């Protein structure tokens, strides 16, 4: 467990190369706030996709609303393309329980019926609680319970991963 945290910029480049053979110009990317949006912006540029980039905030669909209330900072979701019949790749920074992805898929279906949804994640930390898997992953990295990996962005827009105590 002393493996150092991977370099986010290198992982991002790797993730883009893994996605490249599997996307067409019509593939639509949707980033999940906040880290997933940063990644999706970069992937959208590197993969030269034609569809405008979508962003999604899953706060209105989270399954812990009943116990934790509404997230204090909800950003608007913005899906600037027709969801019906679209080939969509959801982008998130860290794949963990799978609950965020479930919420994102539920929200997407309220926009229309996509042709397909795939998932890209920079890091898969294991610990899934739902039958959800990513088609594209930068790396797998096990993290102890009670800790969390977060993606951060500096003023030069460079991404990096940090390990934090999980919020209660």
Partner 1 sequence: MTSYNLQLNAQGELQHLLTIEGLPQEIIVRILDTAHSFLSVGEREIKKVPLLRGKAVFNLFFEASTRTRTTFEIAAKRLSADVINLNVGTSSQSKGETLLDTVANLSAMHADMFVVRHSQSGAAHLIARHVAPYIHVINAGDGRHAHPTQGLLDMFTIRYYKKEFTSLRVAIVGDVLHSRVARSQIHALATLGVPEVRVIGPRTLLPSNVSDLGVQVHHDMENGLKDVDVIIMLRLQNERMNGALLPSAQEFFKYYGLTPAKLAHAKPDAIVMHPGPMNRGIEIESSVADGQQSVILPQVTFGIAVRMAVMSILAGNP
Q: How far is the CB of 76 from partner 1 (least distance, A)?
A: 4
Residue of 14, 60, 81, 160 that binds partner 1 (CB under 8 A): 60
Q: Does 162 bind partner 1 (CB under 8 A)?
A: no
Residue of 18, 46, 111, 148 that binds partner 1 (CB under 8 A): 111
Taking residue 32's Cβ as centre, other Cβ atoms within 10 Å add up to 26
Residue of 4, 21, 69, 131 that binds partner 1 (CB under 8 A): 69
Cα 96 from Cα 26, distance rounded (Å): 28
Q: Does 61 bind partner 1 (CB under 8 A)?
A: yes
In the region spanning residues 30 to 59, those forming contacts with partner 1, defined by CB under 8 A, are 57, 59
Q: Does 65 bind partner 1 (CB under 8 A)?
A: yes
Residue 41 CA: distances (Å) to CA of 50, 113, 162, 165: 13, 24, 20, 27
User: Quick one: 46 or 98, whose CB is closer to partner 1?
Assistant: 98
Q: Does 74 bind partner 1 (CB under 8 A)?
A: yes
Q: How far is the CB of 36 from partner 1 (least distance, A)?
A: 17
Q: Does 73 bind partner 1 (CB under 8 A)?
A: yes
To the nearest 10°, the Cα dihedral for 111, 115, 121, 124?
110
Cα 15 from Cα 35, distance rounded (Å): 15
The CA-to-CA distance between both ends of the chain, in Å, stands at 23
Q: Does 22 bind partner 1 (CB under 8 A)?
A: no
Q: How far is the CB of 15 from partner 1 (least distance, A)?
A: 28
Q: Does 68 bind partner 1 (CB under 8 A)?
A: yes
- Give 106's contacts (C-beta < 8 A, 6+ positions apart): 61
Q: Which residues of the shown chain bind partner 1 in the complex (CB under 8 A)?
A: 57, 59-61, 65-66, 68-70, 72-78, 106-107, 109-112
């Amino acid at each position: 467990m002393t493996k150092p945290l991977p370099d986010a910029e290198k992982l991002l480049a790797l993730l883009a190369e893994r996605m490249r053979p599997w996307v067409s110009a019509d593939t639509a990317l949707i980033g999940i706030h906040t880290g997933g949006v940063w990644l999706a912006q970069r992937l959208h540029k590197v993969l030269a996709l034609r569809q405008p980039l979508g962003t999604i905030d899953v706060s209105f669909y989270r399954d812990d609303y009943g116990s934790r209330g509404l997230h204090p900072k909800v950003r608007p979701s913005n899906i600037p393309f027709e969801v019906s019949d679209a080939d969509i790749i959801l982008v998130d920074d860290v794949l963990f329980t799978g609950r965020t992805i479930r919420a994102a898929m539920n929200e997407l279906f309220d926009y229309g019926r996509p042709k397909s949804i795939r998932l890209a994640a920079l890091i898969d930390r294991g610990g899934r609680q739902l039958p959800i898997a990513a088609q594209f992953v930068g790396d797998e990295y096990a993290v102890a319970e009670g800790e969390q990996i977060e993606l951060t962005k500096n003023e030069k827009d460079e991404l990096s991963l940090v390990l934090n105590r999980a919020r209660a």
